A = this chain, B = another copy of it.
C-alpha cells in the first residue's frame, strides 16, 4: 500500500483532538501531517509527541503543508464551507464532521463546487453508518425477510446541550444524524416534515425548545418519527426501531453490563457520543483512510441516494 496517508486536521478541539489520537494510535495507514487551529497552543497540545507534524493557525496553510494528501475537518460548523471549498480547490479528499454546513444555501454551494470538480471528494461524518448495530439493522432490512419497512421510531437524547445551542440546532446538529440514517436505512428520500414541540423541560436552558418531536414522510410511503431531547439529564441514548410488514427490529438498548444493588438491576447508560460510538468512529476513519488510499470516496455525502451506492464511473461503494 506504499506510504502512510498524510492528513491535515482542521480544528483541534474535543472532536479534532480525538481524531488526531485516532489517526495516530488506532488507524492503520495514515499519519497526521499538519494541524490547524485558531488557538495555536491547543493545536500544539493535540499533537504533542508526534513527529513531523506542522502546526498552523491558518487552515489553508495546513492544506498546503508538506506531505498533506487529505483533509479531516473537525472545526466548528460555520468554518466548514470555507475549508471544504479550499480542499476542493486543491483536489484534496475530505472527511468533514457533520453538520456539513449550517444552512441550505451554503450546502448548495458545496454540492455545486464538488460537482464542478467532476468527482466526489467529500465524505460527511455520519459515523452511525459504521456502527455495528446500525450495520446489522441495515443488513437485516436489505435482506428483505422482514418485508417492507413501514415506520422508524427514533430516539436521540443527550445529557445536556452545550452553551449556545439553539432550538434550530436540535434539528441541524442532532436530527441530521437521523435524516442521514433514515435515508440510508430505507433507501428512500424524505418528502415532508412536521415538527411538534411539547412544553419544554424545565431543565432546558431558557428559551430552548427541548424536547421536540419530528415526523418525516418518505417517497416510499414510510413514516419516520424522532424524539430529540438534548437536556434529558440521564444519558446519551440513540435508539432506532424499524417496524416492517413481517416483524420489527430495534437497536440501541444498553445491556453491556447489568449491575444489581439495593433493589435495582441497572445498566450503565453512556454519557457521551465518543463513548457510545467509539468503535464506529474508529471504523469510519479507517474506512475513509483505506478508500482515500485507493483513490475512492465511498461514505455518506451531500449527494443523492444513488451516489451512495454507485460512484461516478459505475463503481459500487462499500457503505
Contact = CB atoms under 8 A, between A and B. Distances in A.
Interface of A: 1-2, 24-29, 51, 132-133, 136-137, 140, 145-148, 150-151, 153, 194, 196, 198-199, 201-203, 211, 213, 215, 217, 220-223, 225, 227, 229, 232-235, 237, 243, 245-251, 253-269, 271, 279, 286, 290
Contacts of A150: 198-199, 201, 211, 229
Contacts of A147: 201-203
22 contacts: A25-B29, A133-B256, A140-B257, A140-B259, A146-B259, A148-B199, A148-B202, A151-B213, A153-B227, A196-B223, A213-B215, A225-B225, A227-B243, A229-B243, A233-B245, A235-B260, A235-B263, A246-B261, A247-B259, A247-B261, A266-B266, A279-B279
A34 B100 CA distance: 44
Given A153-B227, A290-B25, A260 B253 contact: no
A250 B261 CA distance: 12
A316 B112 CA distance: 55
A237 B145 CA distance: 20
A206 to B, nearest CB: 15
A285 to B, nearest CB: 11
A203 B146 CA distance: 12
B268 A263 contact: yes
A223 to B, nearest CB: 4
Contact of A245 (B201, B260, B264): B201
A259 B248 contact: yes
Contacts of A29: 25
Contacts of A290: 25
A32 B140 CA distance: 35
A257 B201 contact: no
B260 A249 contact: yes
B153 A202 contact: no
A109 B255 CA distance: 43
